[in-house]
Structure 1
């Protein structure tokens, strides 16, 4: 645990030092003393600094050069102009004045920390795009764990951005100035994984013509990201567990212990608990890695974030391809209806493909690959055959040769889809009709009947009407209809 911050007093007057230390001791504050401003003697972390009898010019210069330290004056001759100079103690020194000014110091430090938090939050918003609850929870978890030394286990399906989460943890941690070294445990042959992680000495095996550092040494002072940890073979799991416990390792073919000042973040798309039950993953290693789990949500669980993701992915790929595309509202709605088995990686690949296929054009539903078209196109030529047949049947009501026979229609209801349509005259009224409204009324009536007959199950109603479920859902939204699903 870190030691509590103390109050630093810089004063050449011994009497002042004694009085201030007595008051600080009385109110429970730790204090340290200096009698000059030599740079080598100034500690860096304090709750506040009290300037006593020192040269005003030195105090002014020192306050400006240390903007993260709050300062208090204890000498009337001081006149310092700096945002971190928070006030003057009047003599004789009083408990109330000193307590009040130390409170200001605490508030100042809090504001500095808050600015840092806001900067971190802005960074996470850019790295992990989205406004939904699921991705907001991931950002919150990253902020909570980044400042600690705890091991992190990132869980989630392939393509959900587990490495992005790992980089975010590293980039806002105290290790951000150190290296971030990723290793895909599933992409390295088992017999080479030990050498890849721990390095090897010259002559350790055939082909080892020179000594080589492993990923643990390369990540010294930073973060080692072990992706697809579930693919690590059992013998390597034992050796990794030892490194995590003892923080030391040896190169392959070597006997010298090497210290490992490395934070380990692991990730997997597999269910490690099930693998433990099957004897494919060590339980003790799981608990060593699973100190702080973070689960990345699948894209189908955060489809409302797709418009923001499209915007971010476009900005990333546009520079590479020197082109741009714009999505219509209907194309975005169609993409939001997709299941996205490949998650954000699949969406990124789609954006890149569209930039190649349709550079500097507008992408509507027609321009999307077939499997992403979950809405009907607005052009009549592109409508489904069932929709065209329905329109032709409706228009047949108003043909000159059409004669409506009530009894015959009722007897032949198994073959005539228009049996349940509203009764109409067999001639077009002289004042005309509103064909659009009549077609809409008929469509609403058919949808209601299909939903009633199928007990409100949209999928079965859509099958009965000869259309896709997504198309029926859109029509129900359009007409304000509801189902039991």
Structure 2
């Protein structure tokens, strides 16, 4: 895709000459005659870089528009001026300008500045992506037959533009599959835009996906780009797609088919080029029969299906998973613990209804609460049995929350253990757990995230 350059200048001759230069170099030129018009275009369209004249109309000049553009859109901005001074150039740089060019404009200087600005923006994006990926595991751990088959599927589908529907129970690692596809795709140098369809309130999901215009609803104080906009030219990951309402499904289907949409409260059609990965823990065929999911949307998403197995179906991977999880947990300030062969045997005996997510939380719990460097099978069984654990507490056993000298930390440890236990009882169904413990689902979801029980 050609890079889109916005030229904000009130002189028609400058707009025309710059547009010609840019188009000769393979860029797409967009023009605006005022700062206000430029901001509207930035709200509505995808722009990669801005050429901004300092001296504009009476309402807002370039120096006033610069911080607004940087704050709202974080794009490289090159200032142009026919009356430049060192003081003006310094001030523009302090306000976030990437470069400063004086009129009359030099062809070579303009192209060099734009090339450097775009390269700088790409490096910033790559650094952001690197920071994000170093904070999470993108490798799928395991050598079981089921996992080996998934790895082969990922290697085959990732380099293509095919859409993928990832299916599997809660906690099996569907997001990890999506991240692996992204890592091996041609869009790996761009962030994968993720949307958790179950975590966004119904009344806000359209705004989240498509963006909105200023004043389109209460609280919409500024215009906002949606996830489809942000994913243009890359990958959009729709997690828990089965929890999306029929109304939103209908809008999603049209956008997926046409690759164009309007923002909430807007009338302008925005075109995008997005590859979609979707994931769900629900049986979509049953949801279709029950009238809860559109069949046409299912067939549109289900180009390449990948099924992620339950942990019980790949139980032989437990030792490798525990080793990998222990490395991640040790980076949180928790000491490295070793597991005996009896401990692995005890772990393999458990059914793991919460799958890898439950295993991860359980391993972290053991690392925090077991005082020994090596965890035994008896300790694993003790912590897997909440009733037996409670009896040990009442008889004076040393359990971490009771040893903590800090009340807030003891309270946090208790809440974490309590909610983890309730989640395990309800097979990690957040709605059922919320009803059982007497909390609103949204409040429980936030609480679980704050306690690092879910991501």
TM-score normalised according to structure 2 size: 0.53
1:275 correspondence with 2:287: yes
Q: What's the counterpart of residue 263 of structure 1?
A: 275
1:245 correspondence with 2:257: yes
Q: What's the counterpart of residue 228 of structure 2?
A: 216
Q: What's the counterpart of residue 85 of structure 1?
A: none
Structure 2 distance, partners of 1:351, 1:322, is 11
Structure 2 distance, partners of 1:362, 1:330, is 11
Question: What SS is found at the alignment partner of 1:302?
Answer: helix
- Give the ranges of 4+ consecutive aligned residues of structure 1 lying more than 6 Å apart after TM superposition: none
Which of 181, 189, 192 in structure 2 is aligned with 1:177? Answer: 189
Which of 300, 316, 338 in structure 1 is aligned with 2:350? Answer: 338
Structure 1 residues 88-107: Cα deviation after superposition (integer angstroms, max 9, x where no partner)? xxxxxxxxxxxxxxxxxxxx
Structure 2 distance, partners of 1:165, 1:277, is 27
Structure 2 distance, partners of 1:126, 1:202, is 37
Report if aligned partners of 1:198, 1:213 keep a CA contact under 8 Å in 2: yes
Structure 1 residues 221-241: Cα deviation after superposition (integer angstroms, max 9, x where no partner)? 221111110100001001100
Residues matched between the structures, number: 250
Structure 1 residues 386-437: Cα deviation after superposition (integer angstroms, max 9, x where no partner)? xxxxxxxxxxxxxxxxxxxxxxxxxxxxxxxxxxxxxxxxxxxxxxxxxxxx
Q: What's the counterpart of residue 146 of structure 1?
A: 158
Gaps of 5+ in 1: 1-39, 41-124, 374-485
Task: Please report how far the alpha carbon of residue 359 of structure 1 lies from its aligned counterpart in structure 2 after TM superposition.
Answer: 4.9
Structure 2 distance, partners of 1:336, 1:245, is 45
Question: What SS is found at the alignment partner of 1:331?
Answer: helix
Structure 1 residues 34-71: Cα deviation after superposition (integer angstroms, max 9, x where no partner)? xxxxxx9xxxxxxxxxxxxxxxxxxxxxxxxxxxxxxx
Report if aligned partners of 1:203, 1:210 keep a CA contact under 8 Å in 2: yes
Question: What SS is found at the alignment partner of 1:355?
Answer: helix
Structure 1 distance, partners of 2:325, 2:349, is 19
Counting only pairs closer than 5 Å after superposition, residues 346-365 of structure 1 correspond to structure 2 as: 346-359=358-371, 361-365=373-377
Structure 2 distance, partners of 1:248, 1:339, is 45
TM-score normalised according to structure 1 size: 0.50
Q: What's the counterpart of residue 303 of structure 2?
A: 291
1:136 correspondence with 2:148: yes
Structure 2 distance, partners of 1:372, 1:352, is 13
1:311 correspondence with 2:333: no
Counting only pairs closer than 5 Å after superposition, residues 60-75 of structure 1 correspond to structure 2 as: none
Question: What SS is found at the alignment partner of 2:156?
Answer: helix
**Higher RCO structure, 1 or 2 (CA under 8 Å, sep 6+):** 2
Query: Looking at CA atoms only, which structure, 1 or 2, has the larger radius of gyration?
Result: 1
Structure 1 distance, partners of 2:164, 2:194, is 14
Structure 1 residues 177-208: Cα deviation after superposition (integer angstroms, max 9, x where no partner)? 11211111111111110001000001111111
Counting only pairs closer than 5 Å after superposition, residues 457-468 of structure 1 correspond to structure 2 as: none
Structure 2 distance, partners of 1:140, 1:190, is 37
Structure 2 distance, partners of 1:255, 1:243, is 15
Summarize the Cα distance change of 1:126–1:268 in structure 2 as closer, same or farther, 3 Å threshold: closer
Task: Please report how far the alpha carbon of residue 173 of structure 1 lies from its aligned counterpart in structure 2 after TM superposition.
Answer: 0.3
Structure 2 distance, partners of 1:255, 1:126, is 39
Report if aligned partners of 2:338, 2:374 keep a CA contact under 8 Å in 1: yes
Structure 2 distance, partners of 1:362, 1:136, is 30
Summarize the Cα distance change of 1:346–1:234 in structure 2 as closer, same or farther, 3 Å threshold: same
Report if aligned partners of 1:179, 1:218 keep a CA contact under 8 Å in 2: no
Structure 1 residues 342-391: Cα deviation after superposition (integer angstroms, max 9, x where no partner)? 00001100111111112561110222253637xxxxxxxxxxxxxxxxxx
Structure 1 distance, partners of 2:278, 2:237, is 6
Q: What's the counterpart of residue 167 of structure 1?
A: 179
